[in-house]
């Protein structure tokens, strides 16, 4: 569009408004309403300026692009994300020249990629050497797509703004400031007092507000670029982009989508009727049950299954335990893996291997410990070994661990068992004993567990399952699904690598033969 056409459109657009302003002002003056219309308008302008000043003091004008890390990120991923956040905070202000310079973004991308990659390849002279070309392209595509969505959603008219329009706008802004400075200089020479007052009103009034608005928008765009790029740099270096853009999005959507209903219904919940419409494929939630022998793990599993046992498929897992696959209409499927356990002396190598296998296949760990066991050295040792085992494999994440204190019916006084018990605040002898036991377990296991739940899983006398354990499990399912995401990405990336190479070679060979055949035909 030429400048003449642009000026014509601007004149045609603003002419009616200018006409209405002129006619309306004359009408107000002619009727003697000027004063009564003037002060409400001044009040409205003043209130608008005050609110705009307050709302643009921080960076709340546009939505915050610094979102919490996904629940499937490991400690290594979170450490890399801290570098990204520090990089974004390093730019307290961004100039229009920086925003319009492509080299500025290139320098940020290269510097940030090296810093993030160094977290995953410490000590390497070239930290990005372990990355593949498809991974880098996937990172660029995902970051660009997310940034495009943000800009289109929150910056009105951005889809119509071309590069030359942006350059012209910057040029026009420079010309406006130059003309404004010349005007202030001339008016000050002719009338110093009036010119000075007008300059102060513009400098600390509307002009300051406009500059603040512009700075907020520029900084938001710049920060969004750093955050989106940094997010996918973390995903790329962690190996989760090996599966490709399409599969990456499918896995994220499948594992992070909320369930249709509660993932684990209370034991006495009746089976739901079949839905009239076909629901989307639900994500299976895996729960591993660990703990010493004779802790009542199998009784706990039976209490969890309750009336739903008729819909359970039982499958022995060699050298690990028994897997229960539970499927109900309207809920996400649940897998419970009941391990064999270990003795008082702690887990031997085979038992620890079974615990690690169950943990890597789980989204949540229920660590069962008997209430009458005064010492838990073997329990602490197993949890510490599990933590160290996962720390040596930073591409995986230790699932959340809930300590389940079972067999509370055997606590003193043993002859008393009349649930329900208000053990957190109750004063009955049994309630006090349960509360003291929970406090002792919490002190012994410490930060190794995220919650301690007392239960009695004995058939017919069960207590604490639907009242305490099921809500505790439900509260951790969001974090629990994070382990499922990592497990899915790891399995996808490692599976059929040579098959994919063969497919690529075959496709390349077909293309080469096609070109050769075309040349021979000539």
Kindly report, residue by residue over 328-361, the tens digit of the pLDDT: 444 567 788 999 889 888 899 999 999 999 999 8
The contacts of residue 379 (CB under 8 Å, 6+ apart) are 291, 292, 367, 369, 444, 445
- Alpha-helical (H) ranges within 322-419 are 349-360, 377-391
The contacts of residue 359 (CB under 8 Å, 6+ apart) are 288, 290, 365, 386, 390, 398, 399
Q: pLDDT band for position 312 (50/70/90)? A: low
Q: Which of 175, 145, 169 is nearest to 157 (CA)?
A: 169
Please state, for a pLDDT cut of 90, what percent of the chain lies above it: 25
How many angstroms from the chain centroid is the CA of residue 291? 32
Is pLDDT at 503 greater than 60 in this prediction? Answer: no
- List residues bridging with 404 in a β-sheet: 368, 453
Is pLDDT at 515 greater than 50 in this prediction? Answer: yes
Averaged pLDDT of the chain: 75
The contacts of residue 61 (CB under 8 Å, 6+ apart) are 55, 213, 216, 217, 220
Q: pLDDT band for position 167 (50/70/90)? A: low
Q: Are 140 and 146 in contact (CB under 8 A)?
A: no
Q: Are 61 and 223 in contact (CB under 8 A)?
A: no
- List residues bridging with 456 in a β-sheet: 463
291 — alpha (psi -120 to 50), left (phi > 0) or beta?
A: left
Distance from C-alpha of 60 to C-alpha of 51, rounded to nearest angstrom: 12
Residue 490 has a pLDDT of 55
The model carries a pTM of 0.61
The contacts of residue 429 (CB under 8 Å, 6+ apart) are 412, 413, 416
Domains of the chain (ranges, CATH numbers): 67-242 (no CATH), 285-494 (3.40.50.300)
Q: pLDDT band for position 40 (50/70/90)? A: confident
Most confident by average pLDDT, 75-84, 158-167, 282-291, 307-316: 75-84
Considering all CA atoms of the chain, what is the largest pairwise distance in Å, rounded to the nearest integer? Answer: 102
Secondary structure letter of residue 417 according to DSSP: -
How many angstroms from the chain centroid is the CA of residue 115? 21
DSSP string, 67-116: PPPPTT--HHHHHHHHHHHHHHHT-S---HHHHT-HHHHHHHHHHHHHHH
Is pLDDT at 461 greater than 90 in this prediction? Answer: no
- List residues bridging with 337 in a β-sheet: 288, 323
Kindly report, residue by residue over 177-228, the tens digit of the pLDDT: 555 555 445 555 555 544 444 444 444 444 454 555 555 667 777 888 899 9
Distance from C-alpha of 88 to C-alpha of 297, rounded to nearest angstrom: 48
460 or 79, which is more confident: 79
Is pLDDT at 165 greater than 70 in this prediction? Answer: no
158 or 329, which is more confident: 158
The contacts of residue 79 (CB under 8 Å, 6+ apart) are 119
């Amino acid at each position: 569009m030429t400048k003449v056409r642009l000026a014509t459109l601007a004149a045609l657009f603003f002419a009616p408004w200018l006409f209405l302003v002129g006619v309306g002002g004359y009408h107000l003056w002619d009727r003697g309403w000027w004063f009564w219309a003037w002060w409400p308008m001044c009040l409205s302008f003043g209130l608008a300026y005050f609110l705009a000043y307050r709302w643009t003091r921080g960076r709340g004008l546009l939505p915050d692009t610094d979102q919490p890390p996904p629940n499937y990120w490991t400690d290594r991923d979170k450490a890399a994300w801290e570098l990204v956040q520090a990089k974004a905070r390093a730019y307290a202000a961004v100039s229009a020249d920086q925003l319009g310079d492509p080299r500025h973004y290139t320098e940020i991308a290269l510097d940030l990629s090296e810093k993030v990659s160094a977290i995953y390849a410490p000590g390497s002279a070239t930290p990005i050497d372990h990355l593949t070309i498809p991974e880098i392209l996937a990172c660029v595509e995902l970051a660009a797509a997310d940034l495009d969505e943000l800009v289109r959603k929150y910056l009105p008219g951005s889809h119509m703004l071309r590069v030359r329009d942006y350059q012209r706008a910057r040029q026009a802004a420079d010309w406006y400031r130059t003309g404004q400075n010349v005007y202030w200089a001339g008016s000050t020479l002719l009338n110093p007092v009036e010119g000075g007052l007008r300059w102060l009103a513009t400098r600390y009034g509307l002009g300051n507000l406009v500059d603040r608005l512009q700075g907020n928008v520029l900084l938001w765009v710049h920060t969004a670029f750093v955050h989106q790029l940094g997010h996918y740099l973390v995903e790329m270096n962690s190996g989760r982009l090996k599966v490709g853009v399409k599969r990456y999005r499918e896995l994220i959507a499948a594992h992070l989508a909320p369930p249709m209903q509660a993932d684990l219904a209370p034991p006495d919940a009746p089976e739901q009727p079949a839905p009239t419409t076909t629901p989307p494929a639900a994500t299976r939630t895996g729960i591993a049950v660990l703990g010493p022998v004779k802790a009542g793990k199998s009784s706990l599993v039976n209490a969890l299954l309750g009336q739903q046992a008729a819909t359970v498929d039982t499958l022995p897992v060699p050298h690990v335990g028994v897997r229960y696959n539970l499927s109900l209409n309207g809920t996400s499927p649940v897998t419970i893996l009941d391990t064999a356990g270990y003795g008082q002396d702690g887990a031997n190598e085979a038992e620890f291997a079974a615990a690690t296998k169950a943990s890597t296949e789980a989204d949540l760990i229920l660590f069962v410990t008997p209430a009458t066991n005064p010492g838990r050295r073997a329990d602490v040792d197993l949890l510490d070994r599990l933590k160290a085992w996962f720390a040596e494999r930073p591409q995986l994440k230790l699932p959340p661990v809930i300590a389940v204190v079972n067999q509370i019916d055997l606590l003193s006084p043993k002859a008393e068992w009349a649930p329900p018990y208000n053990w957190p605040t109750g004063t009955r002898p049994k309630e006090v004993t349960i509360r003291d036991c929970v406090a002792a377990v919490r002190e012994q296991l410490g930060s190794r567990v995220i919650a301690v739940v007392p239960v009695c899983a004995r058939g017919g006398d069960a207590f604490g399952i639907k009242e305490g354990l099921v809500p505790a499990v439900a509260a951790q399912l969001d974090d629990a699904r994070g382990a499922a995401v990592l497990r899915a990405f790891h399995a996808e990336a490692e599976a059929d690598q040579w098959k994919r190479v063969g497919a690529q070679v075959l496709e390349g060979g077909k293309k080469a033969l096609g070109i050769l055949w075309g040349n021979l035909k000539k």
